[in-house]
Each structure stands twice: as C-alpha cells, then as structure tokens.
Amino acid sequence: MEELKKNIVLIGGGGHCVSVIDIIENGNEFNIIGILETSNFENNILGHKILGDDNLIPELVNENTYFLITVGQIKNYSVRKKISKILKQNNAKLATVISPLAYVSKYASVEEGSIIMNHSVVNAKSRIGKNCIINTKSNIEHGVLIEDYCHISTCAVVNGDVIIKKGSFIGSNATISNGVLIEENSIISAGKFIK
C-alpha cells in the first residue's frame, strides 16, 4: 500500500521557492497545496496556486499540513524569523525537506524548517539547526554545527568541526577551514577562504 504524502504550504514565492518546488516534486514525502506570497502578481508558480499572503496561516494550520519558509536569505534572516514566529504562534508544523539527490549521513541531524538541496552532503555528526538552507552542492563535513536561520550557499565547503552561529550566510564557493568559529549574523562573501 502506497504511503500518503503529507500536505505542505510554501511561504515565499521567489527564486528559492522555485528550487524548493522542484525538490519536493522529485521526492515522495510532500504534496504542495499552495504558496503564500505577498508581492507576486501571478496566480501560480510552476503550476502551484498562490493561495494569498501570510494572513492565511492561521486557517491553513491543521494536523495534516506542514509549512516551509521559502523566502531566500542573503543579507539577514529577519523576514524568515518573522514568518517563523507567526508559524510558532499558530502551532504550525514545520517540514524538514531533504532532496532525494542529497546525502545526509544517518549520524547527522537536521531540524525542522530546514532544507537540504540537490547534491549537498551533510556528513556524520553534523547538526543542522532550525530554518536553515543548505543550498545546492554545498558540503558540510563531519562534526559541523550550523545553528538556526543559517544559509549555506551553493558549492560552499564547510570543513570538519566548524561552528556557524545563528543567522549567518556563507556565500557561494566559500571555504571554511576545520575548526573555525563563525560568529552570529556573519556574512561570508562568495569565494572567500576562512582559516
């Protein structure tokens, strides 16, 4: 007997949302019931209906529906945090989405609201906090701690035993050497090497 998919509502309709839709459609866990978006003038994104804006959250919360924040993050995480607070106030369930094309060690953990995108690697004893984006082809090595609301961008390499504090952004193709501590709300530029 085929297992029923969980319903999911995506919050934010920009470029990150488009990538997330593709990942969810290629997996077997979630059924997208719609998108909440304030500034998009289209009525759908990749064929998925825009239901309205964030004000609909309370009426969409139920036992069979999960939510994922699909607003991207570059300069700071304030928008993602604000949406997260609304979800928490309404007792909404956050999804954890892992691309079928990603590798997450059985000895790693990924908390609610986070997404592990295509061709990313999360190795043993690494911990990914809440509402994080582990973007396409990023490499999270052994023993890494990534706190809540971080975005590890495309092709970034985070080597063993690194700690990345809350709200940080690691740019595309950045490399963080073993054992480095990245302070809260840091922005590491694309291509930067941190040792």
- Give the separation between CA 82 and CA 59, rounded to whole angstroms: 18
User: Which of 16, 48, 142, 151 is flagged as catalytic?
Assistant: 142
CA-to-CA separations, 111 to 92, 149, 153, 172, 188, in angstroms, rounded:
15, 11, 18, 23, 23
Is 152 strand, coil or helix? strand
For the sheet containing 181-182, what is the strand order? Answer: 109-110, 127-128, 145-146, 163-164, 181-182
Tokens representing 144? 């890494």
142 counts as catalytic: yes
Please say whether the dihedral angle defined by the alpha carbons of residues 40, 43, 49 and 55, taken in this order, is positive or negative.
positive
Cβ atoms < 10 Å from Cβ of 93: 16
Residues carrying an active site annotation? 142
